[in-house]
């Protein structure tokens, strides 16, 4: 019997065998992608509201992290480590509460940090490109560094005004691309059934 007769059927040990449970749910995966895509478009339509939502998510994560740190502190065996973990947790909780009480201040700080991080990342990528061997794809690394540097510069050039919309734009773009990714994955799974 020819080996070509088994092409397209799931044989034991095949890499795509783990995708079988997902193939049955391809419709749900596409639906999830559509929800992400719609949420992203709504976020891009109201970037100020999306900024507030993204700040609220960061605040919630800080609160949860702080509570977890404080709980973890009680498992420490020495008083020094206990106080260090408890202090760290308390700082996270306070930062989370401040984020909820003053989302505009939180958005301003987060946007400043984002702009600085992008500029530093851009410079590091450009430096990395200059250190790459000839024949390596240094041009692409340098180009990504220049783009990252420009985006960071644009954010800081308009800061603090950019704090009202930058985080919302990033959230919206992320949701749109996540939605497109889920839709593409679901449709690809449908065609493999």
What is the b/e burial string over 89-111, where b = at least 16 CB atoms within 10 angstroms of the residue's CB?
A: beebbebbeebeeebeebbbbbb
What global pTM score does this model have? Answer: 0.64
pLDDT tens, position by position, 7-48? 444 445 555 566 677 777 888 888 988 999 999 899 889 888
What is the b/e burial string over 120-130, where b = at least 16 CB atoms within 10 angstroms of the residue's CB?
A: ebbeebbeebe
The tokens describing 163, both together, are 């704090």
Q: Is the bond into 110 cis (omega within 30 degrees of 0)?
A: no
Distance CA 89, CA 65 (A): 7
pLDDT average, residue stretch 142-156: 89
pLDDT at 64 over 90: yes
């Amino acid at each position: 019997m020819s080996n070509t007769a088994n092409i397209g059927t799931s044989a034991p040990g095949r890499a795509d065998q783990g995708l079988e449970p997902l193939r049955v749910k391809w419709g749900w995966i596409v639906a999830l992608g559509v929800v992400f895509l719609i949420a992203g478009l709504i976020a891009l339509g109201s970037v100020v509201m999306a900024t507030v939502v993204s700040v609220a998510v960061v605040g919630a994560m800080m609160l949860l992290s702080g509570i977890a740190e404080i709980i973890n502190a009680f498992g420490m065996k020495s008083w020094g480590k206990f106080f260090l973990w408890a202090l760290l947790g308390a700082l996270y909780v306070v930062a989370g509460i401040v984020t909820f009480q003053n989302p505009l201040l939180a958005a301003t700080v987060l946007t400043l940090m984002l702009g600085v991080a992008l500029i530093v990342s851009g410079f590091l990528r450009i430096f990395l490109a200059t250190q790459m061997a000839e024949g390596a794809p240094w041009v692409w690394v340098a180009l990504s560094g220049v783009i990252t540097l420009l985006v960071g510069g644009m954010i800081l050039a308009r800061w603090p005004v950019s704090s009202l919309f930058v985080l919302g734009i990033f959230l919206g773009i992320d949701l749109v691309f996540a939605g497109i990714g889920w839709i593409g994955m679901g449709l690809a799974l449908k065609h493999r059934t």
